[in-house]
Amino acid sequence: MADQVLTVTTAYARAQMAQARAEGGTLTKVVKMAFGNGGVDSSGNPLPVDGTEETLRNELLRKDIASYEFIAPATIRYHCPLGENELTGQNINELALVDTEGKFTALRTMGDKFKDGDMEFIFEVDDIY
């Protein structure tokens, strides 16, 4: 599993960056985080991603990004909380950053994170350039 890719910047986002750099175009803003439960195989191992994905395998919720911060000159950390009543009883094991066009800019699979009903979860995703 060491050579599997579990987090990627999507081909869509990379193409946007290349065009902006060469032609001076604009980049779309990341505004949401998508959560799903289709990111693992039958043994619970995270499935690899290659950046061409346009959907989660099983999307459960899209939610507005609550905040972001620059943690390094070329790294943005996005914060998105799930309230006590959101996705209760679900295993969350895939997520994506979503832009103003509704398209994924980054995608991640991970081991199951079980969401209890009496807890808030805060997901943080680092977008590294």
User: Given this model, what pLDDT does residue 114 score?
Assistant: 96
**Which residue in this structure is represented by tokens 């949401």?**
32
**Which residue in this structure is represented by tokens 């094991």?**
93
Whether 87 and 39 have beta carbons less than 8 Å apart is answered as: no
User: Given this model, what pLDDT does residue 129 score?
Assistant: 82
User: Given this model, what pLDDT does residue 4 score?
Assistant: 63
Tell me which residues of the chain have a pLDDT lower than 50. 1
